[in-house]
Amino acid sequence: MAAAALRWVLRAARQVLPSPCTRQVRSYFVDWRMLRDVKRRKLAYEHADKRLRINAIRKNTILPRELQEVADKEIAALPRDSCPVRIRNRCVLTSRPRGVKRRWRLSRIIFRHFADHAQMSGIQRAMW
Amino acid sequence: MPKLSPCWGQNATKTRQGKAEPSARGSRSRPAALRRRQGARGRAAAAMWGRVPPAWGCGAGRAARFSLLFLAGRPRSKFQKLFSTTSVLSTEKDKSTTSPGSTTEVASKSPDGAAETPKQKLLNIIGNMKVEVTSKKKFQQLKTHAIKKQDTEKQEGLDSKSSTFQEAAEDTQRSKPLNRELVEAVSAVASSLPRSKEQTESELLAQLRRHEENTDKQRRGGAINIRNVISEMSIKRQSPARRGVMISNRISLAMEEDGQRTKPERLSSHSFDSRSLREGKRLNIFTKASPETESALKTVSSPTIWDLEFAKEIAAVTDQPPRNGFEEMIQWTKEGILWEFPIDNEAGMDDDAEFHEHIFLEKHLKDFPKEGPIRHFMELVICGLSKNPYLSVKQKIEHIEWFQKYFEEKEELLQEM
């Protein structure tokens, strides 16, 4: 099981960039939690439409209740990781779950580090 | 006391953060840039328009000699429309023909008008030579016209004073008598036409004599009177234009590099000879790859690992890192990191559907029951979809079809109720 997961990880993580770039190249996930988050995101994307439609049947006052109960059971049968609520916006570089700014997808520490080195475009020290 | 740490300053507006929203541009804003570009265009247009009138007047004088040759033996009336150099002709020939007064003025203006550099004058001349091409084309048409209606053309052509002048000069030399049949034909034509019989006869005969003389001279290989030769030369379609273009390019290039002694760049594959690369016999040195071999190549199995590695090596060698910021931006645009400017709000969206296809979705509700809660529910679904601008029509139809399938599956359940 672990080996299969590892293999899946390596395949997923191997990003062969076509050109020799001078950017930061990340050929691995920072930790397993980040990996799990990635899996959840993929599943959520796959099942998003289905979930939307079944929920439209469920959250209804027009359709008969029996139909809605059936729909409840159907949505419970979907994989648990397919629900978007389980996704956590982690820091992209450090996998930190808290203190992450959505616009940059970075945790506050990394953000500050880059901003201090003038590597964040359009970011300036506030002074007023 | 708060110490001011070094400011990072504002970097380039293009961020590395992928598809971050295009932040507000600075002073190098698009409107300003657009204005500048338009200004340049406007200036160029103005310059162009300003150039044309002097060129016309200046080139007229030098190009007159060329016009002369075309005048000989060509119908004057049509020529007058095309060319305005009749005034210069008259000065040369000492015979005032129907020279429109306007052209004289134009011709006189030419020496006064431009205090131009010799380079510009030359360029103007050569530019005019290009203009003459159109007239030459018309001449060619005229010539084909003449082949069809030979007699009438000769008639009008002989009215020109130049031919009569030449006739007067060559009157004395008449070594060979003309063919009897031709003479008879000439008399018949002259009689058929409404003008004065004798005059037409004499002019036609003169024309014939000139023609005979030319052929004799050519056979003998004697000194060729260029005037006569060119007057009856067939006009090739493209070569003069090409020559003119190439010569003008040559001269302009040579003139522009007055200080430097660099050779002008070789133009495209056109040689400066009259023949082009595409004419002539095929040498059959290179054979085309037959379609069989091509298909055979394609049936090779998928590339092996070594081929992939080789391809990667080549890519690694050829794709050098960008030399400057522009190349970097080009690379990013190709990869999709940088958006294409001017920003297209619908980039990546290929929704060709009209608005009515988005809004009026009732036609997809045909297979549903017309009454009952399901219909009610579906109408609400359609109402919501019609208000959704983010989905394409395909996606909306897919939603509706999924519901249809779902309710078909649940029909048994519904019938129990």
Contact A53 B331 (CB under 8 A): no
Contact B403 A70 (CB under 8 A): no
Q: What is the DSSP letter of A24?
A: -
Q: Which residues pair with A106 in a beta bridge?
A: A101
C-alpha gyration radius of chain B = 39
A73 touches chain B (CB under 8 A): no
Number of Cβ pairs closer than 8 Å across A and B? Answer: 74
Contact A124 B381 (CB under 8 A): no
Task: Pick the residue from chain A with its C-alpha nearest to B384.
Answer: A56
Contact A62 B377 (CB under 8 A): yes
pLDDT higher than threshold 70 for residue B11: no
* Residue B154 contacts residue B207 (beta carbons within 8 Å): yes
* pLDDT tens sequence across B290-304: 666 666 665 566 778
Contact A103 B399 (CB under 8 A): no
* Interval A33-47 mean pLDDT: 96
Residues of A in contact with B319 (CB under 8 A): 18-20
A24 touches chain B (CB under 8 A): no
| DSSP-derived 3-state class of residue A9 | helix
Contact A121 B376 (CB under 8 A): no
A23 touches chain B (CB under 8 A): yes
The predicted structure's pLDDT at residue A26: 78
- Please state, for a pLDDT cut of 70, what percent of chain B lies above it: 46
Q: Which residues pair with A107 in a beta bridge?
A: A100
Q: Render the burial of A64-81: b for 16+ CB within 10 Å, e for the rest.
A: eeebeebbeeebeeeeeb
pLDDT higher than threshold 60 for residue B205: yes
* Residue A58 contacts residue A75 (beta carbons within 8 Å): yes
Q: Considering only A109-113, B115-119, B151-155, which range has the smallest mean pLDDT?
A: B151-155
Q: Is B191 exposed, middle or buried (0-12, 13-18, 19+ CB in 10 A)?
A: exposed
B316 touches chain A (CB under 8 A): yes
* Cα separation, A122 vs A118, whole angstroms: 9
Contact B377 A60 (CB under 8 A): yes
* pLDDT tens sequence across B25-79: 444 545 544 555 555 455 544 445 444 444 444 444 454 454 444 444 455 555 4
* Interval B10-38 mean pLDDT: 45
Only one residue has tokens 């290179």, namely B286
| DSSP-derived 3-state class of residue A107 | strand
How far does B360 lie from chain A, in Å, by closest CA?
20
The alpha carbon dihedral of B233, B238, B241, B247 has a sign of: negative
B390 touches chain A (CB under 8 A): no
Quick one: tokens of B341? 């400017």
How far does A40 lie from chain B, in Å, by closest CA?
22
Q: What one-letter code names the amino acid at B383?
A: C
pTM over 0.90: no
